[in-house]
Structure 1
Amino acid sequence: MRSRWTALGVLSTGMLMTVLDGSIVTVAMPAMQDDLGFTPAGLSWVVNAYLIAFGSLLLLAGRLGDLIGRKRVFLAGTVVFTAASVLAGFAGSPALLIAARFLQGIGSAMASAVGLGILITLFTEARERARAIAVFSFTGAAGASLGQVFGGVLTDGLGWHWIFFINLPIGLAALLLALPALPADRGPAKGAGADVLGALLVTAGLMLGIYTVVEVERYGWASAHTLGLGVLTLALLAGFVLRQSRARTPLMPLRILRSRTVVGANLVQMLMVAALFSFQVLVALYLQKVLGYGAAATGLAMLPAAVVIGAVSLGLSARLGARFGDRRLLVVGLALLVLALGLLTRLPVHASYVSDLLPVMLLAASFGLATPALTNLAMSDAGEEDAGLASGLFNTTQQIGMALGVAVLSTLAASRTRTLAATGRDAAEALTGGYHLAFATGTGLLVAAIALTGILLRERGSRDA
């Protein structure tokens, strides 16, 4: 019993390290630009390099865990991520930092893709699994907000290099604990063999697709660059699906997509994550660019969100899910998130933190309801031989959602800001108007997620009745 919960602590620590890294960087980017001389376009690749490597390799890494052992993949990923973090901390040029971020994405994909797969094989009883997933989900949900706090404090106090150096002791501790705590496995699907062509098709397709999406703001949706690469992406992914239907040992057995629950949960997650980009990133930008907060103050302003998400994830979500069902809990969580983003569409230029922003931070508790319920649904039909694949798929759709959120919401916000500035609005007013449009679009994405939940994630048995 104790060893299973120790293993959960190791998996959660690994998840926390990678999630923190994803959000901690955003607060430190202005300091990186000043120190290393990034151009505005080049600076975006501090995030994009990580996102492309991470999002494109999750599916492959998850299946590798099923084939060669999830513990091996987790350990290897943690080693790569930790080493790349040290390299990023010592980076003295934009090119080296971007390369290190790409390596971090590779390591993070390996460790993250198999985490849920290990978890659901350790916790087979429904109530214990719900508690374990609540803890695991908390590290992802609250870790994003905590990253902004730590990013601000470390950047202001010690310099941006330390947002990467901090991963060294965390990574070493995770490795030392993982060796005895995680169960040894030789890969439940080891005899199936590897589909090399399928791996190449899906990795190339996802990498090209995410690259295309994150570059939309630069080239535009209707440009030859975006449309041409978009068509090539679809061709690669269509080739992958065709290959999986014919391969003797497919990388992604298409049987996993026969489950309406799995498909629905992944689609809902994609919409939810895309929408919540506006909360995690655009609120931080509003605090700094409109209200004039510093990096540390911005992180502290986001802290209440992390606290309430943690309290709900750890204290309520598993019990409420057991009583009312994951589907109902997901709908309630999404509805409250709609309310939170709806309030953000009314933010004034001269906002009061207590009256205008704190209520939104407290409503973020609903993320702690929605995420564990969604995770339970996404993994509910995964068998032992496909647990790593289901985990990798769930993480992949999360990253695709994030990339879409970056492309769609940031492009809309920037376009609206330019339009308002051209009419004579001052900078703060124009920025606020741009953010309003992004928040309204995010609200619409959450409404669509609720509709999909009603259509695809219907009650199944007494648990969700």
Structure 2
Amino acid sequence: MAASVPLRDRRRAAALAVLCAMALMIVLDSTIVAVAVPAIQADLGFSPTGVAWVVNGYLIGFAGLLLLAGRLGDLIGARRVFLAGLVVFTAASLLCGLATTAPLLVAGRFVQGVGGALASAVIFSLIVRLYPEPGSQARAIGVFSFTQAGGAAFGFVAGGLLTDAAGWPWIFLVNLPIGVAVLVVALRVVPREAGAGLREGLDVSGAILITLGLSLGVYAIVDGGFRYGVAALLLVVAFLVRQRYARTPLAPLSVLSRGRLLATGAAVVLIFATGMGFQFVNALFLQRVLGLDSIGTGLAFLPTPIVIGVLSLLVAPRMIARFGVRPVLLAGLGMLAAGLALLVRAPAEARYATDVLPSLIIMGLGIGVVIPAIIMLAMAGAEPGETGLVSGLTNTAQQAGGALGLAVLAVVAARVTDASLASGLGEVAALRDGYSRAYLTAAGFVTAAAIITALLPSRPPSIVDATPDDQPSTVGGAPNVILSKDACESGAR
């Protein structure tokens, strides 16, 4: 019996590695594509505005399917949905790499987004089922967070190297051997589980309404179309009405109406609006104010994921176990806001070592504990049959926040820059003003997330007893709990 525990732990670790590898593929794809956009535009003849659809096509497919994919994980099993997403994403990467026309590439990117949504929507569900113990769960989410942060930074460097050395198609084709390898391992180590069955919640009408609503909502954000936003809102309202009267709702209102879930969802939106928006704005700041090239920009970002890795892997689990989730989350948000505030003061003649690097390190210290803590808080209290749905909701909040943050910070930076140019400032100084205001806006997002976190009830919904941290859960079966009460109770400490 004693020998079986290390074997079980190794299998859990292998399954976590598979989940992280898929997440890494998705994150790398996003950042690599951002670097390769100019080459894609020149080769396929995209218009200046049309080339944005290389990114937007993916976002619409991704964000629109997250909630449905998460619920499907509960109904037919998270493993099946994850494997389907991995296969679709890998196959779509081949289509993108072989695309010879702009419409074909956009279509491939949309299908890639669908595959990414299927896999991403159930990753948190699989992690919390693999690691129900609070300490192990915090470490597992820390590993996942580091993978995402490191992948985002590495993507800038890899995108420049691949595009220059082999051409832009290889930013997609490189996914093929990786995807096949991950699939082979996933078939062996990702635990099987029996879902509730399609009869328990396959609301086709509701699925169509929410998928169209979320897709249109993301399109409204990236395109800035007010009428599309109104249409998206009406579709989401229609979906909620449908869930009220459906015999087998896709997303029961008893789950969607939980105040704690809605509040943590809002905090997730604000945190990821900060992260994604900052990544975009800071890349522009490094290139257009400091004068770095694409590879130099990627290297400039590297200290942040290194700090995130150390914090999320070694420090965050211990802090969460010692102080609880909410105090750690609040402390991390304070560090993140401090880093942004410091960056607001960077001058037009900024130097990386003195004006940028300290802020990136401080922000890394904050993000390293914020991401594991907010994900644990978002998943807290979910019943075993709801983990896919709650995971899908959390991922949807992340994507909505990312798209919103990108749009808002880009508009803020552009408007302030234009106003500064009109007042007679030079181009670099005007750009610095715009990016500085964007950093300040991002700090406002973080402050709002901290206020929401501070106002959360001290205790999550009633949860059954957790598996002790020194007793690993069975890999093949669903645990009886997702997160222990002690891991979330912060107000009592």
TM-score range, shorter chain: over 0.9
Q: CA deviation at 1:418?
A: 1.8
Deviations 1:272-306 (A, max 9, x none): 11122332111111122222211111111111111
Unmatched tracts of structure 2, length 5 or more: 1-7, 461-484
- The answer (yes or no) to whether the contact 2:142–2:309 under 8 Å persists in 1 is no
1:458 aligned partner, one-letter code: S
Residue matched to 2:390: 390
1:77 aligned partner, one-letter code: G
Greater mean deviation of Cα atoms: 106-115 or 307-316: 307-316
Greater mean deviation of Cα atoms: 127-136 or 453-462: 453-462
Residue matched to 2:27: 19
**Separation in 1, partners of 2:439, 2:302:** 20
Q: How has the CA–CA distance of structure 1 residues 124 and 82 changed in structure 2, closer, same or farther, with 3 Å as cutoff? A: same
Residue matched to 2:256: 257
- The answer (yes or no) to whether the contact 1:146–1:306 under 8 Å persists in 2 is no
1:348 aligned partner, one-letter code: P
Structure 1 residue 235 and structure 2 residue 234: aligned?
yes
**Separation in 2, partners of 1:423, 1:95:** 41
Q: How has the CA–CA distance of structure 1 residues 103 and 312 changed in structure 2, closer, same or farther, with 3 Å as cutoff? A: same
- Equivalent of 2:101 in 73, 77, 93: 93
Q: How has the CA–CA distance of structure 1 residues 149 and 188 changed in structure 2, closer, same or farther, with 3 Å as cutoff? A: farther
Q: How has the CA–CA distance of structure 1 residues 289 and 159 changed in structure 2, closer, same or farther, with 3 Å as cutoff? A: farther
1:84 aligned partner, one-letter code: A
Greater mean deviation of Cα atoms: 455-464 or 416-425: 455-464
Deviations 1:128-152 (A, max 9, x none): 2222222222222332222223223
1:315 aligned partner, one-letter code: L
- The answer (yes or no) to whether the contact 1:66–1:190 under 8 Å persists in 2 is no
Among the aligned pairs, what percent are the same residue?
Answer: 48
Greater mean deviation of Cα atoms: 88-97 or 388-397: 88-97
Q: CA deviation at 1:181?
A: 0.5
Structure 1 residue 417 and structure 2 residue 398: aligned?
no
- The answer (yes or no) to whether the contact 2:290–2:352 under 8 Å persists in 1 is no
Residue matched to 2:113: 105
**Separation in 2, partners of 1:171, 1:273:** 26
**Separation in 2, partners of 1:108, 1:357:** 33
Q: Superposed, which structure 2 residues align to 1:10-409 within 5 Å?
A: 10-216=18-224, 226-365=225-364, 366-409=366-409
**Separation in 2, partners of 1:248, 1:95:** 40
- The answer (yes or no) to whether the contact 1:141–1:371 under 8 Å persists in 2 is no
Residue matched to 1:444: 444
**Separation in 2, partners of 1:423, 1:438:** 19
- The answer (yes or no) to whether the contact 1:58–1:113 under 8 Å persists in 2 is yes
**Any idea what SS the aligned residue of 1:364 has?**
helix
**Any idea what SS the aligned residue of 1:348 has?**
coil
Deviations 1:11-63 (A, max 9, x none): 11111111121222222222222333322211221111111111111000011
- The answer (yes or no) to whether the contact 1:112–1:395 under 8 Å persists in 2 is yes
Structure 1 residue 428 and structure 2 residue 428: aligned?
yes
Q: CA RMSD in A?
A: 1.7
- The answer (yes or no) to whether the contact 1:188–1:384 under 8 Å persists in 2 is no
1:192 aligned partner, one-letter code: E
What count of residue pairs does the alignment treat as equivalent? 456
Q: How has the CA–CA distance of structure 1 residues 126 and 276 changed in structure 2, closer, same or farther, with 3 Å as cutoff? A: closer
The TM-score, its normalising length taken from structure 1, stands at: 0.94
**Any idea what SS the aligned residue of 1:184 has?**
coil
**Separation in 2, partners of 1:349, 1:31:** 29
Q: CA deviation at 1:350?
A: 2.1
Greater mean deviation of Cα atoms: 29-38 or 342-351: 29-38
**Separation in 2, partners of 1:122, 1:428:** 50
Residue matched to 2:469: none
**Separation in 1, partners of 2:44, 2:91:** 21
2:212 aligned partner, one-letter code: A
**Separation in 2, partners of 1:341, 1:40:** 31
Deviations 1:203-229 (A, max 9, x none): 11111111011111xxxxxxxxx3322
1:199 aligned partner, one-letter code: A
Unmatched tracts of structure 1, length 5 or more: 217-225
**Separation in 2, partners of 1:322, 1:189:** 36
Q: CA deviation at 1:347?
A: 2.1
- The answer (yes or no) to whether the contact 1:266–1:378 under 8 Å persists in 2 is yes
Q: CA deviation at 1:156?
A: 3.2
**Any idea what SS the aligned residue of 2:326 has?**
helix
Q: How has the CA–CA distance of structure 1 residues 30 and 292 changed in structure 2, closer, same or farther, with 3 Å as cutoff? A: farther
**Any idea what SS the aligned residue of 2:302 has?**
helix
**Separation in 1, partners of 2:117, 2:337:** 30
- The answer (yes or no) to whether the contact 1:287–1:293 under 8 Å persists in 2 is yes
Q: CA deviation at 1:307?
A: 1.1
Q: How has the CA–CA distance of structure 1 residues 459 and 384 changed in structure 2, closer, same or farther, with 3 Å as cutoff? A: closer
- The answer (yes or no) to whether the contact 1:88–1:161 under 8 Å persists in 2 is yes
Residue matched to 2:472: none
- The answer (yes or no) to whether the contact 2:89–2:114 under 8 Å persists in 1 is yes
Deviations 1:225-245 (A, max 9, x none): x33222221111111111112
2:62 aligned partner, one-letter code: F
**Separation in 1, partners of 2:39, 2:295:** 12
The TM-score, its normalising length taken from structure 2, stands at: 0.89
- The answer (yes or no) to whether the contact 1:334–1:450 under 8 Å persists in 2 is yes
**Separation in 1, partners of 2:141, 2:425:** 47
**Separation in 1, partners of 2:167, 2:298:** 15
Deviations 1:356-409 (A, max 9, x none): 111122123211110000010111111111111011000000000011112211
**Any idea what SS the aligned residue of 1:44 has?**
helix
Q: CA deviation at 1:355?
A: 0.4
